[in-house]
Amino acid sequence: MSSPATPPQPAPAGDDRNLVPAEASPVITLEDRMRGFWDSYRKVVYAICALVVLGIIGKGAMESFEAQREEGVRKAYAAATTPEQLKAFAGANASHSLAGVAHLRLADDAFKAGKPADAAAAYEKAAGILKTGPLAARARVGLALSQVLAGKPADGAKILGQVAAEEKEFKAVRAEAIYHLCSLAAEAGQSDEVQKRVDELMKLDVSSPWTQRAMALRASLPPAAAPAADAKKEAAVAPAGVQVKAPGK
């Protein structure tokens, strides 16, 4: 009698005998991955590239527009040769630095014409637009001197003191401000204040023409601290530092 057939044994868990051999599996290369990424995201990439190109074009167009506008403003300023034209230009380009220069020119003209109130108003506008730099400093000094001539010596002296105390300001501008303070003190007969201002100028710039003028002014004072001579009054309130063609001289 034959032996009964042995029943087949169930395959143990984790048996990999029915899997495809490793060498028969497809190999996913970097190229395949890149192709898959491109197929999935190419529209997004195209959109980003388009935005970048549009941004570059827009930036170039804006720069070109600003350059054309700047050129137009410069031409308009160059064409403004009368007070009326300067006022119109300054009003049309109120935030531009050349508007500050236009106000400065108007202020200089008013100062020379003996109109200190008008000069002070124009100098103040110029200083407010120009903010910094030699022209802004000249506008502040011009404002101070105009206020002195307009009967506000205390206001003018305050501005001159501020300019004189600013260490970052140009030496020439500070020296001019100190000299005008010295001149005002001489007019008031304050010999101690005159000496103080001369000492400041000597410390700031001994070779400055403003220092030389201040020393000459001190030498002209009587020893007893008497008021300065009338001939010095004109130098105190209308110095050459605010002339149109030669500021600070």
Contact 187, 228 (CB under 8 A): yes
Q: Which amino acid is at 143?
A: L
Coil/strand/helix, residue 118: helix
* The token pair that represents 7 in the structure block: 């029943």
* The token pair that represents 124 in the structure block: 């103040």
Coil/strand/helix, residue 113: coil
- Distance, in Å, from the CA atom of 63 to the CA atom of 126, rounded to the nearest integer, reads 27
* The token pair that represents 196 in the structure block: 């103080």
What 8-state DSSP symbol labels residue 2?
P
**Alpha-helical segments (H) within 10-96:** 30-79, 83-92
pLDDT confidence of residue 58: 64
pLDDT confidence of residue 227: 46
| Residue among 166, 149, 155, 110 nearest 236 (CA) | 149
Q: Residue 234 phi/psi, 5° resolution?
A: -60, -40
* The token pair that represents 90 in the structure block: 């300054």
pLDDT confidence of residue 25: 55
Q: Which amino acid is at 159?
A: I
pLDDT tens, per residue, the chain with 249 residues:
455 555 555 555 555 555 555 555 566 677 767 677 667 776 776 677 777 776 777 666 666 656 767 788 888 888 888 989 999 988 888 888 899 999 999 999 999 999 999 999 999 999 999 988 889 999 999 999 999 999 999 999 999 999 999 999 999 999 999 999 999 999 998 999 999 999 999 999 999 999 999 999 999 888 754 444 444 444 444 444 433 333 444
pLDDT confidence of residue 235: 46
Measure CA 115 to chain center.
30
Measure CA 7 to chain center.
98
Contact 201, 214 (CB under 8 A): yes
* The token pair that represents 181 in the structure block: 């303070």
Q: Which amino acid is at 109?
A: D
Q: What is the reported pTM?
A: 0.62
Residue 41 to residues 29, 46, 109, 244, Cα–Cα distance (Å): 18, 9, 68, 67
